[in-house]
């Protein structure tokens, strides 16, 4: 009997996935991104055991948690802090991704107060329209940042696929390398080329990832085993390192069409239903507050996700014989968006094995 919705993480599979990604990249540094698990220390250690060179997260609270758990690996801050949080950024992050010179100035002042140096990767926007300065602005940015006594310019980086869904390819990655070469000439020292995230693994497989790209920030592919371009399995990775189970709280035979006058659902949508006759339906104790129901793939192919409200997940289980009982767990492999909500929800238990 399952009492509440539970995420189970197979740490050995995460370690193996990390190891395979590190091996596939052939000496390039892999920074393991922990943000989808809210920087679970267990997951972070599993990534480190697989050979990642550092850990990255978008939230300072998560980096502070990693440090408090005793992790000493280099930590990257993926989302630039507002200047008011510069001191926390310097305290908890060794490296941050930056695109606003005012923020870098604030980081320099914070580093001076703390008696530290802070490294930055300067982000350029090469088409995805999330963070990054436009390429023409890079020389002036580097000139100002290089004059700051407590800032080390570690490298040049980009972000692709997460917002604009732009795929890393020979053109945009080649432009990143060219910009880095120009920046190296301007600064007089070698720079790291941070060539994107999990989506850049597709460029590796296709042979279009430039040799000069020497670092990638990888999260989803290590944790979920899929390409972020196609959402299909990649590099022979495990796709079931993270599984969620939710307990059945009702299992009854009902019509497949609602009756009465239809309006908006709880989230302002106008649902459409297919008339499939009388069917057995199960309700599980998990909902949209905890998970993206569209991102749940049932482990048992006889189960079909019909939809969800805030706290209830509705399933078609008519093909299951015998039908599930109250308290039985129904298992799902979650997508990235589903995993993100599962780890953020305080109502979902997390187990590590």
Q: Which residues are catalytic?
A: 35
Give the C-alpha separation, 218 to 210, whole Å. 17
Instruction: Answer whether 353's CB lies under 8 Å from 10's CB.
Output: yes
SS3 label, residue 181 = helix
Task: Please tell me the distance from the alpha carbon of residue 87 to that of residue 323, in angstroms, as a whole number.
Answer: 56
Contact 107, 118 (CB under 8 A): yes
Which run of H or E residues covers position 224?
Answer: helix 220-224
Structure tokens at 142: 């580097």
Alpha-carbon distances, residue 190 vs 155, 183, 212, 222, 241 (angstroms): 8, 9, 11, 28, 37
- Which structure tokens are listed for 316? 């078609």
201 close to 232: Cβ distance less than 8 angstroms:
no
Q: Please give the angle made by the CA atoms of 313, 317 and 322, to the nearest 5 degrees.
A: 130
Tell me if 203 sits within 8 A of 174, measured CB to CB: no
Q: How many CA atoms lie within 13 A of 33 on its CB side?
A: 22
Q: Are 324 and 330 in contact (CB under 8 A)?
A: yes
Which stretches does DSSP call E strand in 66-185?
75-77, 95-98, 118-123, 151-157
DSSP bridge partners of 122: 98, 156
Q: Express the helix, strand and coil content of the chain in percent, nearest 5 each.
A: 30, 25, 45
| Separation CA 289–CA 271 (nearest Å) | 18
Tokens of 333: 């492999």
């Amino acid at each position: 009997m399952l009492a509440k919705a539970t995420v189970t993480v197979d740490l050995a599979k995460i370690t193996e996935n990390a190891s395979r990604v590190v091996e596939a990249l052939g000496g390039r540094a892999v920074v393991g991104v922990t943000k989808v698990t809210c920087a679970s220390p267990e997951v972070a250690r599993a990534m480190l055991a697989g050979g990642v060179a550092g850990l990255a997260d978008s939230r300072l609270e998560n980096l502070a948690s990693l440090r408090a758990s005793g992790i000493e690996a280099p930590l990257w801050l993926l989302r630039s802090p507002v200047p008011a949080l510069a001191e926390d950024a310097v305290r908890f992050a060794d490296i941050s991704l930056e695109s606003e010179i005012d923020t870098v100035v604030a980081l320099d002042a914070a580093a001076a107060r703390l008696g530290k140096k802070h490294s930055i990767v300067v982000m350029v926007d090469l088409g995805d329209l999330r963070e990054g300065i436009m390429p023409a602005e890079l020389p002036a940015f580097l000139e100002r940042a290089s004059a700051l006594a407590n800032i080390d310019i570690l490298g040049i980086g980009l972000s692709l696929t997460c917002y604009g869904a732009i795929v890393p390819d020979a053109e945009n990655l080649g432009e990143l390398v060219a910009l880095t070469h120009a920046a190296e000439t301007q600064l007089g020292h070698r720079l790291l080329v941070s060539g994107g995230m999990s989506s850049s693994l597709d460029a590796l497989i296709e042979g279009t990832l430039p040799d000069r790209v020497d670092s990638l920030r990888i999260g989803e592919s290590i944790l979920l085993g899929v390409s972020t371009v196609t959402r299909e399995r990649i590099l022979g990775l495990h796709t079931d390192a993270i599984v969620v189970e939710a307990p059945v709280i009702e299992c009854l035979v009902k019509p497949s069409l609602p009756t009465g006058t239809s309006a908006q659902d709880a989230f302002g949508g106008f649902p459409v239903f297919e008339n499939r006759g009388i069917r057995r339906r199960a309700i599980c104790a998990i909902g949209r507050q905890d998970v993206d129901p569209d991102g749940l793939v049932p482990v048992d192919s006889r189960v079909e996700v019909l939809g969800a409200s805030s706290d209830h997940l509705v399933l078609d289980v008519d093909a299951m014989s015998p039908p599930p009982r109250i308290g039985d767990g129904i298992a799902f492999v979650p997508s990235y968006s589903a995993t993100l909500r599962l780890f953020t929800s305080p109502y979902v238990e997390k187990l590590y094995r």
